[in-house]
Amino acid sequence: MSHILSKRRRCGILLPITALPDGAENGDFDSAPRFIDWLAKAGVTVWQILPLGPTHDDLSPYLCLSAHAGNPALIGLRWLAKQQFFEASASTGDRRQTLGQAYLLFRHRADAQLVAEYEAFVSDATHWLEDYATFFVLWQHHKQLSWTEWPQALRDRTPSALAQAQERWAQAIDEVKFTQFLFFKQWREIREYAQSRGVLIFGDMPLFVAHDSADVWANRHYFKLADNGTASVVAGVPPDYFSATGQRWGNPHYQWSAMQADGFSWWRERLETQLRLYDLVRLDHFRGLQASWEIPADSVTAEQGVWREAPGYALLESLKAGRHEIPLVAEDLGLITPEVLHLRDDFSLPGMAVLQFAFDGGSDNPYLPHNLEKHSVLYTGTHDNDTSLGWFNRLAQDQSVRVRSYLRCLKKDMPGALVASALASVAQWAVIPLQDILELGTSHRINTPGTRTGNWRWRFQWQQLTEQHAFDLRTQIDLYGR
């Protein structure tokens, strides 16, 4: 089976939308075209981003309120001001209020063509949009309490209670749908612009979904839940190099038998949504398709758990049906068994390698450049790692010597030497976090696994991204045939 990865060598930059400059509280879509222009100037043909879903207060894009919906905080107000139903002078600078004003103006002023476009979007998204919009309005009404703490009739989606709520909050629900329409409309324009500049969008899809989400509330039979809706077991990983006590993510586990019974329709619909957003999708925690770590819900850490097998072959066969390829990259880091590798390879899925993990152990470390597989994506680091400069500066003396000996560089050459090693490698795609291009330290990392505060807030500034950076990167990309 051919794969998009096999067509040519590429260089990518890893940067979440929220890390873009401009925007009030976080980066948003308005800055994306300018960043795409810089990527094209630098010869970069892949932009890898993080999940785009609506987040909880911790801002983690891996615990979203929906596996389908987009985050309204990413909609650009400058773009919104250019739409026919909106007046720039009406903006208060508050995104939520501005989106509300846009909805009212749309309902009063939109022409027939735009109304038809909106109605087509609603019809096309019928398998998730009504549930999400209803969930979001109820979630806000209940002051963002988990749906398991709502009145029982709404918690359990009693038809009469659900119908009454949808009638009572009909306009608010319609406004949420309209906001989703705006999100997908602007992102479609950005993706088309990226295509015109020769840049692919590389997305990210978590294996698991958040318990407090429209997906779990509306599809309880697909998850291992108690009668009151709480999770009986939760997801995570056992102790590893990220954490001595493992990672307790808290996501509910799938009831795989129920998903398989209806041909994995939930998964097929989910992938279709992702492919409306991205050219290629990284499946986070791919090893969970072979077996996943089940932690008792009352356990504080991830140390107490068991591996439960999953029907990965059957799922991937279902996702492959009717396609020339499955446009996925397997995030296969961590505790990987031969069974996981067989699953990955039997479906010709590229795996991942991270150079920051390459210098533990001996010369047989699979992440060292001389051991890499061509059909893979190589990173200097990921969103869960320290920046490469921060990582290097924290190494013990013997490890620092090993890194410099392998890369044949001096301390002052880092992290540039690591970036050059990634670009020179046989890996078909090399993806570099923007922080490593800018040679930034630990204070600029995006996320620290196992912590709940201070994450997902980093942003760069335009003055940091110079013409010289673009020239230097393009020179290396040309040199290494990317």
Positions annotated as catalytic residues are 284, 331, 384
Helix (H, G, I), strand (E, B) or coil at 308: strand
How far is the C-alpha of 422 from the C-alpha of 379, rounded, in Å?
7
Name the residue among 214, 183, 377, 179 with its Cα closest to residue 277. Answer: 183
Percent helix / strand / coil, the chain, rounded to 5? 45, 15, 40
How far is the C-alpha of 52 from the C-alpha of 71, rounded, in Å?
6
Provide φ and ψ at 450, rounded to 5°: 85, 0
C-alpha distances (whole Å) from 148 to each of 151, 259, 445 are 8, 22, 34
How far is the C-alpha of 371 from the C-alpha of 349, rounded, in Å?
18
DSSP secondary structure string for all residues of 33-86: HHHHHHHHHHT--EEE----SPB-TT--TTSBS-SS---GGGS-HHHHHTSTT-
Contacts of 246 (CB under 8 A, 6+ apart): 236, 237, 238, 239, 240, 293, 301, 302, 303, 305
Name the residue among 156, 271, 159 with its Cα closest to residue 216. Answer: 156
Residue 257 and residue 268 in contact, taking contact as beta carbons nearer than 8 Å: no
